[in-house]
Amino acid sequence: MHAETAEPTSQAGPGPWRRGPVFAVLALLLGLLMLLHAQITDRGGVGSLVETFLPWFGLGIPVLLAGALWRRSASALVALLLPVAVWLSLFGGLLTDKSRPGGDLTVVSHNVGAENPDPAGTARDLAASGADVLALQEITARAKPVYEKELAKAYPHHTVRGTVGLWSKLPLSDTRPVDTLMDYGPLAATKPAAVKMAYNRALRTTVATDEGPLAVYVAHLGSVRLLPQDGFGTGGRDRGAQALTKAIAAERNERVVLLGDLNGTMEDRAFAGLTSQLRSAQDSAGDGFGFSWPARFPVARIDQILVRGVEPRSAWVLPATGSDHRPVAAGISG
């Protein structure tokens, strides 16, 4: 008897277009999430949370690229074109230096931190920045005289309303607090003005510049908290953003600068009313994302310089001080 010899069979496996379907699907989902971020529900603050850290979703691209190459998946590589294109359309403009020489006025904004262990050192660092106009947020009653003393020589004009203040080399006038609805509810109207002023968190003043009067707003909007039972709590901040939007909409001066810790990024839907009226100095004239918080390893820009009727020429982030935020700066003209 003769044994029949079996012919070898091919074990080639699936082709490159059928490999790595999981990576292809994840790439498409990542692209759609960034593309449609404004459609994500804001229940529990989910939409705001996604938009706060939206640039960081781009880190998923190299991870998925590595997976696609490992699986030698042509479909996953093609699918990756979607998140790459969306990320570049959203943030590609921030990858180049858009600063230009010039600028008649240098403005700086800094949340100096209520727990700052060295307010005097922070004040000296800020004065050394060469700012013409300096906005501070989170000024405590204990630290206020320290800032006033340390900044007096460089800034002959200043005003403080509650926990926010402005120091200027140029004269100030028409200063008043701005109600950002931090005190909210049926009992708010019953509190005396002096009581409310102690924790006021926004002001408006006029700076006399060579180009004419400049309306300057300083604001510190409500904090946000990520809590297991409540999600991403943004209610106080969002009310403040709406109040600030109305105040700036009613501003008669065409030349406006808003300086402050807004506790949110300009991608966040809560600031649509502000960004429809003002533009970001960092986006227009900065280099990179300009992340300002937390100071040790910044991952988000929640400290903002927004303008109308003036031209941002440059924008940058200053070195860390004793605060948990970094100062942000801009040179403007016009």
- Can you tell me whether residue 171 is helix, strand or coil? coil
Residue 193's pLDDT band (cuts 50, 70, 90): low
Residue 191's pLDDT band (cuts 50, 70, 90): low
Across 154-163, 186-195, 310-319, least confident range: 186-195
Give the type of residue at 95.
L
Give the type of residue at 14.
P
List, in sequence order, every residue forming a beta bridge with 91; answer none if it has no partner: none
Transcribe 150-175 into DSSP letters: HHTTT-SEEEEETTEEEEESS-EEEE
pLDDT at 197: 64
- Can you tell me whether residue 279 is helix, strand or coil? strand
Residue 189, burial from CB neighbour count under 10 angstroms (0-12, 13-18, 19+)? exposed
Cα separation of 313 and 14, whole Å? Answer: 55
Residue 290 φ/ψ region, left for φ over 0, alpha for ψ in the -120 to 50 degree band, beta for the rest: left
Task: Please give the biggest Cα pair distance in the chain.
Answer: 113
Closest CA to 308 of 287, 265, 277: 277
Tens of pLDDT, residues 233-259: 899 999 999 999 999 999 999 999 999
pLDDT at 194: 58
Torsion of CA 262, 222, 275, 323, to 10 degrees: 0
Tens of pLDDT, residues 60-112: 999 999 999 999 999 999 999 999 999 999 999 999 999 999 899 999 999 99
Decide if 207 contacts 214 (C-beta within 8 A).
Answer: yes
What are the φ/ψ torsions at residue 30 (nearest 5 degrees)?
A: -65, -45
What are the φ/ψ torsions at residue 54 (nearest 5 degrees)?
A: -55, -40
Distance set, CA 42 to CA 49, 227, 232 (Å): 9, 15, 9
Cα separation of 303 and 290, whole Å? Answer: 9
163: Cβ–Cβ under 8 A, 6 or more apart, which residues?
Answer: 137, 138, 139, 140, 199, 200, 201, 220
Is it the case that residue 231 has pLDDT exceeding 90? no
Decide if 305 contacts 131 (C-beta within 8 A).
Answer: no
Token pair, residue 145, equals 């005289």
pLDDT at 4: 53
Cα separation of 255 and 296, whole Å? Answer: 34
Is it the case that residue 11 has pLDDT exceeding 70? no
Decide if 151 contacts 188 (C-beta within 8 A).
Answer: no
Decide if 271 contacts 264 (C-beta within 8 A).
Answer: yes
Cα separation of 156 and 176, whole Å? Answer: 19
More confident residue, 1 or 74: 74
- By DSSP bridging, strand 105-111 and strand 133-137 are parallel
Is it the case that residue 164 has pLDDT exceeding 90? yes
What's the pTM value of the predicted model, to 2 decimals?
0.90
